[in-house]
Amino acid sequence: MSIDRPIYMDNASTTRTDPRVVEAMLPYFTEIYGNSASRNHSFGWDAEEAVTIARGQAAALIGAGPKEIIWTSGATESNNLAIKGAARMHAKAPAGSTGRGHIITATHEHKAVLDPCKRLEREGFDVTYLEPPSDGIITRKMVEGAMREDTILVTVMWANNEIGTINEVPEIGALCHERGALMHTDATQWVGKMPTNVESDNIDLMSFSSHKLYGPNGVGALYVRRRRPRVRIEAMLDGGGHERGMRSGTLNVSGIVGFGKACELCSEEMAEDAERLFKLRTRMENELSAALDVVAVNGHPDRRLPHLTNISFGFVEGESLMMGIGNIACSSGSACTSASLEPSYVLKALGVGDELAHSSLRLSLGRWTTEEEVDTATRGIIKAVKHLRSMSPLYDLHNEGIDISTINWQSH
Amino acid sequence: MAYSKKVVDHYENPRNVGSFGSSTEVGERSDIGVGIVGAPECGDVMQLQIKVGDDGVIEDAKFKCFGCGSAIASSSLATEWIKGRTVDDALNVKNTEIVEELSLPPVKIHCSVLAEDSIRSAIADYKKKNGVETETKAHSH
């Protein structure tokens, strides 16, 4: 049986909002529409109560206390607030000078981490960008090798958004606590999918986002540790002093209610989701590898998120492959699918050759992905790869036994 | 990105896809000119082979392409346009005509340039094999 309607396999970009979440949100548009900061009437009290419940739901998902949750507009804001806020608060020299402190991150982090780090470099901080090995994993040992006396912050993502690889975050957090540095992790792809406990995992600051875990868009959170150590950050948005002064601005009550509900559902269902999706992904990877030659799964084979695969099909260009599988919504590392003409910097950081980076697809499964969809998508990909290889001059050269990397191509 | 109907048609039903033999075989034949342009790391490689009769007319053309849908369509179209023309006349195919025919957006103009380059490169190869002097220049881009 095949499916004609589009198949959604781009859950690492965003997820469908769970209908149970939408249902929980609806009263907060038309019935309980007060400003949660209004202290003098029941509209405000009711809104505040809803926000408090959501704070508890988000905190419970990550093993934090409710007062340690700061609401934001999403993970990009959370990352900016955590990185710039911590660096500026803990700077070792005043603004305008150099040598203000050292930060450690990695080259295959999300742009919402890399760009704040670059800005801090211009503001007088030193940043070390760790280069991942070919499996994509940043280890405690790598961070340890980069640590300095003046290291104030380490920011290493929990799971990579393009390849799903899982860094040694709890181990790196432990190292930070031994050395008196702060540990921030961009856990956007991790939280709600995998068990998280900021206490036992040694996290000081953690970014996560609602729309990646079946909640609405436009809401995120930053976990800010309150004890051992009490983490202080400089606010970016000044205003009414909301969120304990760390993030001013009227709260998005309906969105926060939805985010809270989504967190609660993930607490209950993520173990089951992960097990089911791992089986589906394994089935997909196995069938693709059995039907096609020169197929490579990018990143560490085991140490990665269970619902995501990043897979390269040699001698086939990613954008044309996506065109051939038009009813499957996914992402590609090909340059042609982005505004820039560079292929994925994440795959490049792993040392994946440009031609294989151009040939990659990221398929990310989610709560509503069915076995039937996986089978239909697998067949569609196999058919499209075969069609494109029948046209590929590179596949011919490969079959003639010529290594394409030895050819002197005229770049343009 | 939305593709024009013509791009989709060439992608799904590419014209004249194939080759006249392995790279070694075609290398030894003087009636065949081969052009390979682009680079894998840039995400496009086009291979155009032309089979030329004694009268200098391109009797047949075959392409292979590693690239996006627009690159595939550009090279497929190029083979249609040069068949039946003399090698000198085929040099008149301009990338701008390909852009117009396929309604390529600005970010895909390089695909049409590559197709024009593949024609020039295949013809230059044919002329070189047959001892004809040529001043064909590839675009620098």
- Mean pLDDT confidence for A315-343: 81
C-alpha pair distances (Å), A97 with each of A102, A125, A149: 14, 9, 18
DSSP code string of B42-106: GTEEEEEEEEE-TTSBEEEEEEEEES-HHHHHHHHHHHHHHTTSBHHHHTT--HHHHHHHHT--G
ipTM: 0.89
Nearest CA in chain A to B108: A336
β-sheet bridge partners, residue A69: A223
Task: Report pLDDT for A332.
Answer: 85
Q: Report pLDDT digits (tens) over A123-137.
A: 999 999 999 999 999
Task: Report pLDDT for B79.
Answer: 97
Amino acid symbol at A279: K
Task: Report pLDDT for A338.
Answer: 55
Catalytic residues of B: 42, 111
Window from A26-35, A228-237, A324-333, B82-91 with minimum mean pLDDT = A324-333
Say whether pLDDT at A143 is over 80: yes
Average pLDDT of every residue of chain A: 94
User: φ and ψ at A191, to 5 degrees?
Assistant: -65, 135
Q: Report pLDDT digits (tens) over A54-101.
A: 999 999 999 999 999 999 999 999 999 999 999 999 999 999 999 999
pTM: 0.91
d(CA A231, CA A243): 14
Q: Which CATH number fits domain A7-14+270-400: 3.40.50.2300, 3.40.50.720, 3.30.565.10, 3.90.1150.10?
A: 3.90.1150.10
Q: How far is CA B20 from the centre of its chain?
A: 14
- Mean pLDDT confidence for A35-54: 96
DSSP code string of A247-264: S-S---HHHHHHHHHHHH
Cβ-based contacts under 8 A for chains A and B? 96
CB contact under 8 A, A320 and B72: yes
Residue B43: which of A336, A393, A402 has the nearest Cβ? A336
A203 — pLDDT class (breaks 50, 70, 90): very high
Could you state, in chain order, the average pLDDT of each consecutive group of 10 residues for chain B (141 residues)?
88 95 90 93 92 96 95 96 96 96 93 96 95 60 48
Dihedral angle of Cα A257, A258, A262, A264, to the nearest 10 degrees: 20
B23 touches chain A (CB under 8 A): yes
Say whether pLDDT at A337 is over 60: no
Q: Where are the domains of chain A?
A: 7-14+270-400, 19-266
Residues of A in contact with B10 (CB under 8 A): none
Specify the DSSP class assigned to residue A126: E
The residue that leads in pLDDT, A106 or A343, is A106
- Mean pLDDT confidence for A312-339: 84
Q: Report pLDDT digits (tens) over A229-287.
A: 999 999 999 999 999 999 999 999 999 999 999 999 999 999 999 999 999 999 999 99
Q: Which CATH number fits domain A19-266: 3.30.43.10, 1.10.645.10, 3.40.640.10, 3.40.50.970?
A: 3.40.640.10
Q: At A158, is the secondary structure helix, strand, or coil?
A: coil
H-type helices in A3-139, by residue range?
A: 19-25, 27-30, 42-62, 75-89, 111-122
Amino acid symbol at A80: N
- Other C-beta atoms lying within 10 Å of the C-beta of residue A244: 12
- Counting Cα atoms < 13 Å in the Cβ hemisphere of A199 gives 7
Structure tokens that stand for B111 in this block: 């695909």
Residue A354: which of B14, B41, B47 has the nearest Cβ? B41
